């Protein structure tokens, strides 16, 4: 596999020029200058390129092994690479200083997350889940739980997992059957947890001293459905009052999954309470476990979208290196008619530019969402925080769903650029495709992300948050249209915004029908998410075009800006039209789905 190089130049472009360091203008980050942030990104780039990335192929080939005692061995080098990450303080980069973290903006933590997943997606999943556990515990844990468990998580000495899925409870978590029985008050304030959870990412390993499992379960007297589910923290090793580790808790890895990709990530079936019962502690309020878990899930969904961007970036680098090196055929007579690298063939260039333009657009949108997270958490004005949070709520399903769908397609194009060499494992292109394919599935399938956007998020404010974003899209389109050399880009972006507004109105109108509204949203949700993702990503590339053109007109000779203009042209003239076609799908309605007899297929 081609060595990985962190895209530091594009990170600087997004943070400095597109976002104009909006996060640094918040009071919480007034002591963090752009020089510090750049130094952080450069050091993260070194860690991921030199320590994590060389292990990516080995992790894929070696995989994980479950020993007879239920313990897990991870690929050689993974434990040391994780330790280097933890020792560097990276696990707490976006955690507030009051909780023991570095207190840097979410937008920077998100950029670091991209580098982790680009360099080694399987290993990157471990700290990604820990970040979600920190969020859940910080927001909903009691002072006692936070004082005992939070610091080791922030430091990376312990890791966290998310335990939702059961054999009969996947997307429908109301079916959770794992039990939490209150103990005798004379024993202490804890529960005995029993049951089995499946598909638990990094459910067991030896890279850290302890693992904290956040588990959804229900008390014996709890009502059926979502309101009966509570959230518990179940440590692998019990923790003594002085913070030292005690005896092993009654939780064990019963098996590991043999997956299509991310072989270096141990995906476990965990059995709780096979003996006396696993000791667990209630997090937050009884019966509100699903609400509390969504704190962790939203964090994870945003980072899964960034994970998709990371794998797409790695696929871009892999494909470009191969296309520049592989000699095959001749270029056109107009260009000399000589033997050439395949990067000279225009169809290969089309694929390379498609990969690059989309990856850059997805990165910009994901970091825009992260910047809105910073505003939602730290802005002085309550109204400003509320508006930003509404934008985050709309953007997260788009970042998660659209970015991961696109990442699979980008990784697939990477295989195509390699030709036959892409279909074998030798080059590493196939691994990226296999790894990326899980991202549209976990942390809520992309169909669920689409339903969240087209159903819950639109209905809760009548589309106001998305409409506000579209105001900015239209403002960018107007700015492009007033520039002679960019006017055609403005026309394309304006048309996309018009299509999305019309589609939003259509989905909202159909959703309000008391009889057919639910079916309409289900049928139209995925094309609506696709249209939204295309338009918002095109918006980012429209902004990029304005910045790049201004620099070139000011005399810059930096090829980065010329390439950015080419990417913007591709995104707005070649990619956006594919997304705009989703309006036709939405206008066509869902009658063919409603009348279908699935058994006849």
Cα separation, 76 vs 56, whole angstroms: 11
Cα separation, 421 vs 410, whole angstroms: 17
Strand 327-330 relative to strand 245-248, pairing: unpaired
Tokens representing 253?
């890895």
Longest dimension (CA), the chain: 88
According to DSSP, residue 197 is labeled: E
Compute CA distances 221 → 229, 233, 287, 534, whole Å.
Answer: 11, 20, 11, 47
Candidate list 106, 135, 299, 443, residue with the active-site label: 443
Residue 89 · residue 102 · CB < 8 Å? yes
For residue 187, what are the contacts with CB-CB under 8 A and spacing of at least 6?
none
Q: Phi/psi class of residue 80: alpha, beta or left (left: φ > 0; alpha: ψ in -120 to 50)?
A: alpha
Compute CA distances 266 → 62, 199, 447, whole Å.
Answer: 12, 9, 25
Nearest to 52 by CA among 93, 17, 4, 20: 4
**Residues paired with 193 in a beta bridge:** 180, 278
Task: Give the angle 183-188-191 at the CA atoms, nearest 5°.
Answer: 35
Tokens representing 61?
């080939």
| DSSP notation for 415-462 | HHHHGGGGSSTTSSHHHHHHHHTTTTTSSS-HHHHHHIIIIIIHHHHT
Angle between helices 517-553 and 559-570 (to 10 degrees): 150
Nearest to 318 by CA among 415, 175, 204: 415
Q: Please state, as a whole number, how many other Cβ atoms lie within 10 Å of the Cβ of residue 240.
A: 11
Cα separation, 266 vs 581, whole angstroms: 40
According to DSSP, residue 51 is labeled: I
User: Is residue 462 packed enough to be buried (19+ CB in 10 Å), middle (13-18) or exposed (0-12)?
Assistant: exposed
Compute CA distances 462 → 385, 480, 503, whole Å.
Answer: 19, 29, 13
Nearest to 250 by CA among 222, 221, 271, 225: 271
| CA 322 from centre of chain | 27
According to DSSP, residue 571 is labeled: I
Q: Is 114 considered catalytic here?
A: no
Give the residue numbers marked as catalytic: 443
């Amino acid at each position: 596999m081609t060595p990985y190089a962190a895209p530091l130049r594009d990170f600087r472009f997004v943070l400095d020029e597109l976002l104009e360091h909006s996060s640094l203008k918040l009071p919480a980050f007034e002591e963090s200058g752009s020089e510090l942030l750049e130094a952080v990104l450069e050091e993260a780039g070194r860690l991921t390129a030199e320590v994590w990335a060389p292990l990516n192929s080995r992790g894929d080939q070696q995989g994980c092994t479950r020993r007879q005692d239920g313990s897990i061995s991870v690929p050689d080098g993974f434990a040391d690479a994780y330790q280097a990450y933890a020792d560097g303080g990276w696990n707490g980069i976006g955690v507030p200083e009051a909780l023991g973290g570095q207190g840097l903006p979410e937008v920077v933590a998100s950029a670091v997350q991209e580098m982790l997943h680009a360099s080694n997606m399987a290993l990157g999943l471990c700290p990604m889940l820990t970040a979600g556990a920190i969020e859940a515990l910080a927001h909903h844990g009691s002072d006692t739980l936070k004082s005992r468990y939070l610091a080791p998580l922030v430091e990376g000495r312990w890791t966290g997992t998310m335990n939702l899925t059961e054999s009969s409870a996947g997307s429908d978590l109301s079916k959770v059957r794992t039990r939490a029985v209150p103990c005798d008050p004379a024993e202490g304030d804890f529960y005995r947890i029993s049951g089995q959870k499946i598909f638990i990412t990094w459910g067991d390993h030896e890279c850290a001293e302890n693992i904290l499992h956040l588990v959804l379960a229900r008390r014996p007297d709890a009502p059926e459905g979502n309101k009966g589910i509570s959230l518990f923290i179940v440590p692998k090793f019990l923790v003594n009052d002085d913070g030292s580790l005690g005896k092993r808790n009654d939780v064990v890895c019963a098996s590991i999954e043999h997956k299509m990709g991310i072989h270096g990530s141990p995906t476990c079936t965990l059995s709780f309470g096979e003996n006396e019962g696993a000791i667990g502690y209630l997090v937050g309020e009884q019966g509100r476990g699903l609400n509390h878990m969504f704190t962790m899930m939203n964090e994870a969904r945003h980072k899964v979208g960034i994970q998709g961007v990371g794998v797409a970036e790695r696929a871009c680098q892999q494909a470009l290196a191969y296309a520049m090196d592989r000699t095959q055929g001749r270029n056109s007579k107009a260009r000399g008619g000589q033997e050439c690298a395949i990067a000279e063939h225009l169809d290969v260039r089309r694929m390379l530019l498609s990969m690059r333009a989309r990856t850059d657009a997805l990165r910009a949108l994901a970091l825009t969402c992260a910047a809105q997270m910073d505003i939602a958490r730290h802005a002085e004005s309550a109204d400003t925080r509320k508006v930003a949070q509404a934008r985050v709520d709309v953007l997260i399903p788009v970042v998660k769903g659209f970015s991961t769908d696109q990442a699979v397609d980008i990784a697939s194009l990477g295989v195509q650029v390699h030709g036959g060499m892409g279909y074998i494992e030798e080059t590493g292109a196939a691994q990226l495709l296999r790894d990326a394919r899980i991202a549209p599935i976990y942390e809520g399938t992309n169909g669920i992300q689409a339903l969240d956007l087209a159903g819950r998020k639109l209905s809760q404010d009548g589309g106001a948050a998305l409409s506000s974003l579209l105001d900015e899209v239209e403002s960018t389109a107007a700015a492009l249209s007033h520039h002679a050399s960019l006017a055609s880009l403005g026309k394309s972006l304006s048309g996309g915004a018009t299509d999305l507004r019309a589609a939003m109105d259509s989905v909202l109108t159909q959703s309000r029908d008391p009889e057919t509204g639910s079916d309409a949203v289900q049928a139209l949700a995925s094309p609506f998410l696709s249209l939204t993702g295309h338009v918002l990503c095109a918006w980012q590339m429209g902004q990029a075009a304005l910045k790049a053109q201004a620099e070139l007109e000011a005399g810059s000779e930096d090829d980065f800006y010329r390439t950015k203009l080419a990417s913007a042209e591709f995104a707005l003239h070649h990619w956006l039209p594919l997304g705009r076609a989703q309006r036709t799908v939405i206008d066509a309605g869902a009658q063919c789905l409603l009348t279908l007899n699935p058994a006849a297929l």
